[in-house]
Each structure stands twice: as C-alpha cells, then as structure tokens.
C-alpha cells in the first residue's frame, strides 16, 4: 500500500495531545504548524517556575501511574526515559477531624470509622471492579446507585461518595460505573513524576517537534475555522489567516463549536451534551510543612471545607528542588460559572485559610511566602450513563477537520497518559486519511 500523500496540517492547541500528534505527523512526512493561544506549551499539564526554584511546578497537580504505558513508551521513543521516576507517597482521606492514610488494602482494613465487616465489604467490591475485564455493561448504571447498594450506605457515604461528589459536583449522581471501574483498574500506588517537572518533559517534546521541522506558533489564538471552496481549511487568526489541508483541533468541544460556524446543528447539539467541570487551584509556597507525611488528602464536601483536595506536593517531591519551599495545592472542581473563577487570589486565600487551619491549627498567613491562582473551565468531563454512545469520533462532519480532546478518552479518566494516546490515534487518522 503506498504511503499517504504528505499533507499540510494545522493543529489547534499545544498541549500534550497536540504536541504528540504533531510529532507523529512530522515523523510520517507531513508538514505541521501548531497554534497555541497561550505564551507557553503544555495545556493543562503546563508548569511555572518561581525564581527560587530549580524545578518547575504544574499549575494543576500532576503525576502519572506505573500502568500509564502510553506516556512511558512515548518518553522512551524520545530518549527521555531517564526523566521519569516513581515513588509511593501517602494518599489519605479527611474524616471526622482526622486524616487517615487510605492507599492500600491493609490501610482500608485499619480504617476504624467503618465497622470491620464494612471494611471487608469495601475490599470485596473494590476487587470485583478492579479485576472485572468488561467495562461496557457497567456504563448502563450509575456509580452512585450501584456502589451505594453494593457497598452499603455507610461505606459508600464515607469512602466513595466524596470522590464522586468532589469531582463532579451536582452531576455526581449521574456518573456511570464504567468511569469508576477505570479508576480502580488502572491506578497504582506508585506515582511517577518527571525530573525537572512536567514542563521540562513537555518542552523536550516541543523541541523534538521543532527539530523535525514543525512550527510552533505561541500566542496565536484561533478565532475561527472555515472551509474553503477547494476543500482546504482556513484558520482565522489576528495575525492573518492561514490555510491548511487538514486541521486537528485539540481544544474543548465547546470551543470547537464556537469557532466553527458551519458545523451542522445536529452535531453541535451533540457537543453541547458533553458536560464538563472546571478547576480552580490555589498554589502556596510556604515556609514550613502543613502535614508531616500526607501527599494527597481527599476532603468530602460534607466536611464543609472551601476546597476538596489538599495536595502537599513536597511530601512527594523533595522541597530541595524548590528552594526549600513547602508547596501545596488547594484545589476544587466547580461549575464554570462558580464565583471562585473570578475571585481575586487574595480573596481566595482568605477563604481557604480556615480550611488549611483545620488540617493544621498552627497555620498562619505569615507562613505564606508566595501564592498563585490558576483556573481552567474545561478540566473534567462528566461521563453519564451509556456515555460511549455520546462520544464524537475523531472525524467531524466537515471533511478534513478533526477533533481530539479529553472528552474522547473514555472510559479512562483524563490525564497526560491518555492525552498521549489520543494524540497518537488522531495523528494516525489525520495522516492516513485520503
């Protein structure tokens, strides 16, 4: 079979998906230009760097799992395997004014807020889901309905309802069981990180793209996607329009809808059904630790905290890489219209202070050396019952226009591993189509 004819491909978005697709397309002999509205590459996995730090830090907390084969394999292909290392930090849950490590079967059995028989039941239910190879039947029911029955009301409300409610807010009762299965089936207690931070890895990928002849256009906001009479696609930009044979959009489904006025109404209606949550994170550089060992603390909504996750990054990665700072995230998944998105960082810190003090009563504002606020309106897709039937294909109704984003990696949860996977899959489709 002859090789595909080389194409001029435009990619919207320089996150992990866009850069991975660009790399594969360039290796296959295509011409690629990547357009990114931000002044940096990386998307949701991008990092930033304080002047006191040697390593960058992600704007939104990140790690990979030992089972994340796609990003590990991709790193190896790029000669970057030595950048990845794995550790087993402590992940915990807050319950009744106490913090309980809850990251192994033994620690579940030691979780005293649940009666012993409920702990055993939890283990059996978790094992059934984790080792069940068939996920499609599970998407026909909600995680809320199935788990509350299988685990019992008490165990569900203490252990698994907080996860669902924290991730999906008002939508948590509608999330299907296959999504929950995927979390148990693929996640590992060993967590991986990149030496220098995820940004160092992402910039290394961007350098490979440039070395292969790819063009990265940062601070180039694509304002429209239009089909020309000859079948090519015109990208509308402030700096002047660009025309490509094919375009891959790695932005959110809603952004693609807004930028592409000629998409059929039936297709845009289907895109509108893809519900998602936003994310708000406050990152603090502190003069001392908040907890003595906990990396990740899940906080149930019913506990009344102003955030749902407290991630003490330097209980996982040595603070020597960050000038001795203790780095913590206070994070939450929220509807895109929530007041926290527009709240100044000073007001958000004031609101979050009481929650940090519940974790450590000694915490005071003078511990804070610096802090940053980051937001993203498209951060967590909400997979509802029979979600596989709602997922749009990579090909859009407009010939030679393709879409690849985190709403299409289901049943897996969004993350850099699946950003690599869908980027490679998209490159195969875009580069091989006739």
pLDDT of residue 3: 62
Range 347-356 average pLDDT: 97
Give 272-321 pLDDT, tens digit per residue.
Answer: 999 999 999 999 999 999 999 999 999 998 899 999 999 999 999 999 99
Average pLDDT for the chain: 95
Residue 224's pLDDT is what?
97
Q: What is the pLDDT of residues 127-153, one digit of tens each?
A: 999 899 899 999 999 999 999 999 999
Q: What is the pTM of this model?
A: 0.95
Q: For position 108, what pLDDT does the model report?
A: 87
- Residue written as token pair 């060992």: 293
User: In the predicted model, is pLDDT for residue 391 greater than 90?
Assistant: yes
Least confident of 95-104, 239-248, 282-291: 95-104
Confidence of residue 2 (pLDDT cuts 50, 70, 90): low
Please give the pLDDT value at position 373: 98
Confidence of residue 434 (pLDDT cuts 50, 70, 90): very low
Q: Residue 35: pLDDT band by 50, 70, 90 thresholds?
A: very high
pLDDT at position 386, please?
95
Band (187; pLDDT cuts 50, 70, 90):
confident
* Average confidence (pLDDT) over 108-112: 88
């Amino acid at each position: 079979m002859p090789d595909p004819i080389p194409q001029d491909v435009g990619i919207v978005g320089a996150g992990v998906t866009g850069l991975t697709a660009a790399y594969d397309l360039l290796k296959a002999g295509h011409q690629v230009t990547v357009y990114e509205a931000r002044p940096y590459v990386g998307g949701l996995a991008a990092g930033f760097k304080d002047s006191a730090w040697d390593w960058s830090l992600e704007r939104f907390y990140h790690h990979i799992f030992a089972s994340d084969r796609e990003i590990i394999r991709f790193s190896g292909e790029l000669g970057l395997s030595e950048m990845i290392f794995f550790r087993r930090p402590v992940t915990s849950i807050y319950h009744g004014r106490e913090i309980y490590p809850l990251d192994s079967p033994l620690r579940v059995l030691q979780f005293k807020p649940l009666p012993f028989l409920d702990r055993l039941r939890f283990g059996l239910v978790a094992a059934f889901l984790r080792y069940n190879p068939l996920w499609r039947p599970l998407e026909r029911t909600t995680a809320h309905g199935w788990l509350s029955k299988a685990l019992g009301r008490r165990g569900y409300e203490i252990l698994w309802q907080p996860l669902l409610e924290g991730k999906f807010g008002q939508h948590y009762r509608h999330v299907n069981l296959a999504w929950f299965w995927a979390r148990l089936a693929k996640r590992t207690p060993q967590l991986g990180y990149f030496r220098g931070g995820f940004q160092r890895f992402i910039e290394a990928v961007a350098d490979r793209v440039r070395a292969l002849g790819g063009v990265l256009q940062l601070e180039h906001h694509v304002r429209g996607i239009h089909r020309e009479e000859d079948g090519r696609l015109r990208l509308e930009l402030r700096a002047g329009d660009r025309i490509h044979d094919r375009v891959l959009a790695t932005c959110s489904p809603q952004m693609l809808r807004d930028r592409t006025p000629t998409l059929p109404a039936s297709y845009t209606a289907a895109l509108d059904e893809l519900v998602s949550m936003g994310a708000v994170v406050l990152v603090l550089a502190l003069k001392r630790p908040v907890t003595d060992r906990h990396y990740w603390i899940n906080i149930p909504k019913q506990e009344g905290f102003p955030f749902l996750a407290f991630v003490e990054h330097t209980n996982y990665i040595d603070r020597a890489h960050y000038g001795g700072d203790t780095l913590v995230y206070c994070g939450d998944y929220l509807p895109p219209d929530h007041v926290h998105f527009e709240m100044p960082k000073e007001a958000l810190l004031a609101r979050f202070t009481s929650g940090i003090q519940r974790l450590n009563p000694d915490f005071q504002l003078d511990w804070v050396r610096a802090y940053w606020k980051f937001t993203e309106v498209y951060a967590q897709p909400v997979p509802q019952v029979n979600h596989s039937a709602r997922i749009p294909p990579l090909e859009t109704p407009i010939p030679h226009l393709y879409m690849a984003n985190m709403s299409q990696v289901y049943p897996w949860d969004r993350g850099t591993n699946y950003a690599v996977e869908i980027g490679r899959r998209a490159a195969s489709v875009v580069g091989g189509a006739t």
